[in-house]
């Protein structure tokens, strides 16, 4: 250890696992500009060219290849290479690039459906044995689900629940492997295990889990050995640090197929190793950029086997390899390093790409040069998302990272039980229709009265709505407790949890969709005259609206306060229920791209939205209803409370045409920085930035071949525009574009 | 006792993120009503001064503007545009007075057609002046009014040492020539405090609005101004 740590300062981190202490003792803040950055090295250029060909091939059918003779596991696949002589960082999920893994632990149905869609069949022996001897997470969940949960799920009141595949959203502290080597981590886990007595069920489970974690760490070592690396000790130089860290991540995506398999916060950590090597004359700037570029290439190739339905809901093939960059240590010092710049530079060297999901933790106090660089890259690539460090740092400390789109957690100390989302707009219709589904006529929620008023009365509707939300919250919590109990039991993330503290804090992340639809609907009922059009069963299938009403997204407190009230009330309802493993309740206003699917499954709403019409994504105002310009829209969203309410994130996507952002590049960069500063200064949490023309998107929709790498930000992550379904493309085009007036 | 002004503004709309109408991030207020009828006007719905849109007191408006302070930083602020803001000069004066008390930068985006009091200009940090035309006859045929008021307003701005940004819409076949741009440049050279001259390429995006309002569109057959050509013309100004 001593040799590998030569030149590194600090003591605490040397005696116990504390990556944050290591970073704070050793990193060098960088306040300069982007002039030092290098382009892609010849090796990188050659390698990426090869990858681009494979990616183009994959795009034709949606799947390049899948391993049919082995299933998920850290060592179930032989080492794989793309182009060995041009690779600098090694390791693939399987023995070939873009070859996907079949994972059966979450559930066999999903895997079977996915394979069938591509005319593939798993080795029958594996399938037979697995089905005969193993129970899956999905089996367990369905054994325990209540009739209420099943109905809510079928109706689309609760959707996207991780009950048939990996839950994801867990970030292993992959840096630990690079800093300490695997052996030290094993020793620490063994020590922890000794300290866990067997006095209760909870502890017995934990002892079993820690044993599994240790086994996974042994397997990780073996996997690296297959590539010719001994990672039992700490990384001795930058190249090893990147390689060790990547191996740790790689093992997690060999073993798990979670929706979001995020990376954490690695750039400033790696910068310490890179700068040490540069100082010692072992590495040039070009070498440093090569390491970063090649690491990013590997992350771009991560794949999971999904059904075509899944791809439709999520708009392509996302993996949410989210990497959190920058942020502050305290009010004065930032965590920006040259490697923060190098990560963003990959969007230039390797062209824009949705993955990894590069997330800048923004603060007004970040170095000006870095802020300008981010704005410049955003304008060029639309591939960065921004999240407010000033609202998250007080809650998570200065070593947290984002999982998926907007979910913050302290790296290695907290994990999340992912819980998809609840359709709040549908719940509102249930409160008007006595719990009967407006699309299917099925009684989904019991104990509610059908509203028979000719004109909707605000206080009555609000009262009913709250009663509905209380019932929905109960069903939602039940579902989540069951799902995560079973996931721990049948599909435990051994390797990822090995890279967490043994006594980890658990967050249970609930979610809400249809947020602005609900706000506008309540506003319409309150300020205009809303008359339901009912079918023969007395169910409102449409609404007649007379008069105008304030709409969310115009910085108008009359409606914005209704939105806040709903978020707070729903969160309070959830909090009333105890959670599995004493998890802490959190809530997100995030739809990812499921806003289109949610809309499809939801009848007409009292705000004038027609049946089947898409919701706005995340916490966004409804399309084209924010008529006072972008900042009014941002101000409305900024009012939704993060702390003690929507602590799992509030997603907002913002599209602006270049001409409206300023007359020239300099003005555009400066204005974007001002907007981000102003938005986050109001305790806002998240912003996706797209600087593009609607015409360009329409052209891309009709002529996809002209735009092979057109990346745009949607709710919480970036997608390749061409991989979106036509309905999603249309929805993106229909969104409010802030134009010049 | 707090004095509450009786003046009420008639506002057509807001743009909370104006990034091209003055320095930095601007909260732009479009005031209803305009005495001019410029052939290329892209806000014809704002012409009619007696059509009541959003009515607000200066205090109410400034409360709204203050919500955008986090975005203003050093440079940004409020821009009063329209329509023609000078048509509601008393309202603008009150708003600007309150803004100055709050330390908010004020910008008047005007054609100069109207009466500006000393008080108004004293509370204006920047004037964006739309120089429609420099030739009297052409001015009249373009906007439907005589040029005298523009001259008086400009004179007053010069007297008061107001910072100026000059603007001109460039219309193909009318003023998209080097000669025309040089003429504008010479005009600017004789003025003091001109910080910037912007040429805005004409576009016909407002055509639909005219159709909806049932107003004849005067530039029916005029193509959009080529943006690149307009940029080139703008470069001539810098020399």
pLDDT tens profile B9-25:
999 999 999 988 999 99
If 0-12 CB within 10 Å is exposed, 13-18 middle and 19+ buried, where does residue A201 land? Answer: exposed
Has residue B98 been placed in a domain? Answer: yes
Return the bridge partners of B54, or none.
B11
CA-to-CA distance for B9 and B88, rounded, in angstroms? 7
Instruction: Return the percentage of chain A with pLDDT > 90, whole number.
Output: 84
Q: Find, among A203, A246, A239, the residue nearest to A224 by Cα.
A: A246
Phi-psi region of A436 (alpha: psi -120 to 50; beta: other; left: phi over 0): beta
Closest-CA distance, A736 to chain B, in angstroms, reads 14
Q: Which pLDDT band holds residue A559 (cuts at 50, 70, 90)?
A: very high
What is the per-residue pLDDT for A314?
A: 75
- Both tokens of residue A598? 């949610």
- Report d(CA B92, CA B108) in Å as an integer: 9
- Please compute Rg for chain A using Cα positions: 25
DSSP E strand boundaries for A393-526: 400-403, 407-410, 414-418, 421-423, 505-513
Residues B108-138: pLDDT tens digits? 999 999 999 999 999 999 999 999 999 999 9
Give the ranges where chain B is alpha helix by DSSP (H): 58-66, 69-72, 89-102, 118-122, 136-143, 148-159, 178-189, 207-213, 227-238
Instruction: Give yes or no for B24 touching A (CB within 8 A).
Output: yes
Alpha helices in A198-266 (DSSP H): 201-226, 238-255
Mean pLDDT for the stretch of residues A712-720: 72
Which among A181, A169, A68, A213 is positioned nearest to A503, based on CA atoms?
A213
Is residue A67 over pLDDT 90? Answer: yes
Judge whether residue A479 has pLDDT over 60: yes
In a domain, B233, yes or no: yes
Question: Which of B210, B204, B171 is closest to B46 using CA atoms?
Answer: B210
Closest CA to A290 of A613, A48, A515, A609: A48
Distance, in Å, from the CA atom of A561 to the CA atom of A577, rounded to the nearest integer, reads 25
Per the rule left: phi > 0, alpha: psi between -120 and 50, beta: everything else, A6 is beta
Task: Sort out which chain A residues have CB atoms less than 8 A from B19's CB and list them.
Answer: 660-662, 667, 671
Catalytic residue positions of A?
Answer: 404-405
E strands along A304-403, which residues? 322-326, 357-362, 385-388, 400-403
> Which chain A residues are Cβ-neighbours of B44 within 8 angstroms?
none
- Across the range A572-592, mean pLDDT stands at 96
The arithmetic mean of pLDDT across residues A269-274, rounded, is 98
Residues in chain B with CB shorter than 8 Å from the CB of A667 are 19
What pLDDT does A719 receive?
76
Q: Which parts of chain B sit beneath pLDDT 70?
A: 1-5, 239
Q: Residue A425 corresponds to which tokens in the numbers above? A: 């707009």
Per the rule left: phi > 0, alpha: psi between -120 and 50, beta: everything else, A32 is beta
- CB of A657 within 8 Å of a chain B CB? The answer is no
Please report, for residues A99, A317, A718, B98, the alpha-carbon distance to residue A63 in angstroms, rounded to integers and kept in the order given: 8, 10, 20, 63
pLDDT for res B239: 55
The CATH number that applies at residue B116 is 3.20.20.70
Query: What range does the domain containing B190 cover?
Result: 9-238
Asked, for residue B3, whether it belongs to a domain, the answer is no
Question: Does the pLDDT at position A482 exceed 90?
Answer: yes
Of A659, A682, A738, the CB nearest to B70: A682
ipTM of the assembly?
Answer: 0.91
pLDDT averaged over every residue in chain B:
93
Beta bridge partners of A386: A360, A687
Nearest chain A residue to B24, by CA: A671
Averaged over A196-201, what is the pLDDT? 94
A34-48: pLDDT as tens digits = 999 999 999 999 999
Give per-residue pLDDT as tens, A610-644.
999 999 999 999 988 988 988 999 999 999 999 99
**Cβ of residue B165 closer than 8 Å to a chain A Cβ:** no
Asked if residue B122 belongs to a domain, the reply is: yes
**HSE-up of residue B119 (Cα within 13 Å, Cβ side):** 10
Mean of all residue pLDDT scores within chain A: 94
Report pLDDT for A718. 72
Tokens of B126: 């920047």
Which positions in chain B touch A681 (Cβ < 8 Å)?
A: 70
A261 vs A276: CA distance, rounded Å: 30
Domain count, chain B: 1
Q: Report yes or no on B1 lying in a domain.
A: no
Whether the predicted pLDDT of A741 surpasses 60? no
Cβ distance B15 to A629 less than 8 Å, yes or no, reads yes
Q: Is B76 on the interface with A (CB under 8 A)?
A: yes
A372–chain B Cβ distance below 8 A for any pair = no
Cα A291 to chain centroid, rounded: 25
What is the C-alpha separation between B182 and B199, in angstroms, rounded? 12
Mean pLDDT of A438-460: 96
| Residue of A633, A659, A671 with shortest CB distance to B25 | A671
Q: Which has the closest alpha carbon to A138: A160, A165, A103?
A: A165
Q: pLDDT for A409-421, tens place per residue?
A: 999 999 999 999 9
Mean pLDDT in residue range A512-532: 98
pLDDT tens sequence across A68-95: 999 999 999 999 999 999 999 999 999 9
Which chain B residue's Cα is nearest to A681?
B70
Indicate whether B135 belongs to any domain. yes
Judging contacts by C-beta atoms under 8 Å, the chain B residues touching residue A741 are: 15, 18, 28, 30
In a domain, B4, yes or no: no
Residue B2 within a domain = no
Q: Are A180 and A17 in contact (CB under 8 A)?
A: yes
Residue A465 — very low, low, confident or very high, per pLDDT cuts 50/70/90?
very high
Percent of chain B with pLDDT over 90: 87
CA atoms in the 13 A half-sphere facing the CB of A663: 16
């Amino acid at each position: 250890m001593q040799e590998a740590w030569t030149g590194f300062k600090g003591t605490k981190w040397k005696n116990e696992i504390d990556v944050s202490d290591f970073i704070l003792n050793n990193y060098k803040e960088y306040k300069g500009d982007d002039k030092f950055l290098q382009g892609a090295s010849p090796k990188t250029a050659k390698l990426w060219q090869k990858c681009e060909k494979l990616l183009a091939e994959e795009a034709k059918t949606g799947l390049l290849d899948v391993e049919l003779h082995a299933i998920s596991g850290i060592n179930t696949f032989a080492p794989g290479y793309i182009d060995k002589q041009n690779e600098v960082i090694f390791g693939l999920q399987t023995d070939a690039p873009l070859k996907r893994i079949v994972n059966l632990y979450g559930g066999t149905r999903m895997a079977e459906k996915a394979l069938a869609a591509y005319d593939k069949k798993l080795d029958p022996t594996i399938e037979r044995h697995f089905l005969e001897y193993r129970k899956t997470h999905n089996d367990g969940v369905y054994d325990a689900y209540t009739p209420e949960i099943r109905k809510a799920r079928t109706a689309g009141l609760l959707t996207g629940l991780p009950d048939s595949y990996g839950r994801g959203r867990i970030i292993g502290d992959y840096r630990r492997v690079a800093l300490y080597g695997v052996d030290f981590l094993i020793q620490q886990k063994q020590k922890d295990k000794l300290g866990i007595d067997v006095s209760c069920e909870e502890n017995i489970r934990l002892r079993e889990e820690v044993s599994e974690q240790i086994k996974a760490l042994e397997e990780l070592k073996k996997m690296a050995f297959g590539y010719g690396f001994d990672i039992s000790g700490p990384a001795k130089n930058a190249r090893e640090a990147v390689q060790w860290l990547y191996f740790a991540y790689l093992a997690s995506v060999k073993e798990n197929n979670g929706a979001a398999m995020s990376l954490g916060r690695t750039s400033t950590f790696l910068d310490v190793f890179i700068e040490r090597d540069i100082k010692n004359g072992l590495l040039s700037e070009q070498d440093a950029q090569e390491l970063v570029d090649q690491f990013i290439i590997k992350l771009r190739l991560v794949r999971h086997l999904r059904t075509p339905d899944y791809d439709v809901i999520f708009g392509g093939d996302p993996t949410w390899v989210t990497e959190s960059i920058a942020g502050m240590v305290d009010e004065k010092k930032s965590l920006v390093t040259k490697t923060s710049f190098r990560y963003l530079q990959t969007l230039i060297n390797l062209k824009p790409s949705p993955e990894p999901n590069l997330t800048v933790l923004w603060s007004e106090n970040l170095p000006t040069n870095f802020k300008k660089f981010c704005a410049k890259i955003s304008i060029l690539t639309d591939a960065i998302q921004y999240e407010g460090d000033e609202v998250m740092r007080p809650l998570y400390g200065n070593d947290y990272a984002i999982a998926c789109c907007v979910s913050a957690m302290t790296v290695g100390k907290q994990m999340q039980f992912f819980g998809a989302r609840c359709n709040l707009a549908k719940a509102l219709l249930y409160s008007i229709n006595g719990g009967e589904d407006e699309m299917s006529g099925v009684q989904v929620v019991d104990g509610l009265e059908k509203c028979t008023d000719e004109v909707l009365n605000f206080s009555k509707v609000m009262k009913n709505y709250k009663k509905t939300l209380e019932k929905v919250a109960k069903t939602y919590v039940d579902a989540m407790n069951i799902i995560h109990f079973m996931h721990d039991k049948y599909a435990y993330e051994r390797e990822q949890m090995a890279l967490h503290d043994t006594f980890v804090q658990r967050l249970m992340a609930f979610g809400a969709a249809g947020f602005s639809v609900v706000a506008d609907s309540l506003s319409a009922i309150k300020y205009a005259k809303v008359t339901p059009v009912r079918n023969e069963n007395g169910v409102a299938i449409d609404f007649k609206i007379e008069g105008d009403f304030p709409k969310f997204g115009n910085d108008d407190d009359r409606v914005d306060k209704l939105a806040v009230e709903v978020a707070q009330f729903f969160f309070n309802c959830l909090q009333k229920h105890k959670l599995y493993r004493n998890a802490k309740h959190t809530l997100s206003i995030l739809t990812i791209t499921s806003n289109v699917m949610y809309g499809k499954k939801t009848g007409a709403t009292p705000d004038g939205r027609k049946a089947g019409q898409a919701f706005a994504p995340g916490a966004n105002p409804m399309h084209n209803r924010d008529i006072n310009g972008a900042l009014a829209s941002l101000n409305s969203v900024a009012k939704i409370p993060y702390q003690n309410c929507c602590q799992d994130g509030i997603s907002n996507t913002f599209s602006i045409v270049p001409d409206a952002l300023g007359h020239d590049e300099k003005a555009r960069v400066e204005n974007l920085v001002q907007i981000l500063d102003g938005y986050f200064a109001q305790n806002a949490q998240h912003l996706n930035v797209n600087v593009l023309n609607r015409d360009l998107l329409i052209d891309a929709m009709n002529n996809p071949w002209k735009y092979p790498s057109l990346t745009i930000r949607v709710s919480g992550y970036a997608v390749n525009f061409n991989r979106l379904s036509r309905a999603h493309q249309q929805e993106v085009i229909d969104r409010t574009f802030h134009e010049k007036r | 006792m707090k004095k509450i002004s009786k003046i009420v503004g008639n506002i057509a709309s807001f743009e909370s993120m104006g990034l091209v109408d003055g320095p930095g991030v601007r909260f732009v207020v479009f005031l209803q009503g305009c005495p001019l009828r410029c052939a290329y006007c892209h806000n014809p719905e704002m012409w009619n001064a007696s059509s009541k849109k959003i009515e607000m007191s200066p205090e109410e408006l400034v409360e709204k503007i203050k919500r955008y302070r986090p975005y203003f930083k050093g440079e940004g602020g409020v821009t009063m545009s329209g329509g023609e803001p000078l048509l509601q000069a008393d309202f603008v004066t009150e708003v600007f007075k309150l803004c100055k008390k709050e330390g908010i930068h004020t910008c008047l985006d005007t054609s100069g057609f109207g009466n500006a009091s000393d008080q108004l200009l004293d509370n204006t940090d920047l004037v964006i002046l739309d120089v429609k035309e420099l030739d009297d006859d052409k001015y009249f045929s373009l906007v439907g009014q005589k040029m005298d008021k523009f001259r008086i307003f400009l004179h007053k701005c010069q007297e008061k040492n107001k910072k100026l940004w000059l603007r001109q819409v460039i219309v193909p076949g009318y003023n998209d020539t080097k000669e025309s741009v040089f003429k504008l440049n010479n005009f600017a050279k004789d003025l003091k405090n001109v910080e910037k001259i912007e040429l805005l390429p004409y576009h016909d995006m407002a055509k639909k609005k005219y159709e909806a309002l049932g107003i004849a569109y005067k530039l029916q057959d005029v193509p959009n101004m080529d943006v690149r050509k307009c940029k080139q013309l703008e470069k001539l100004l810098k020399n």
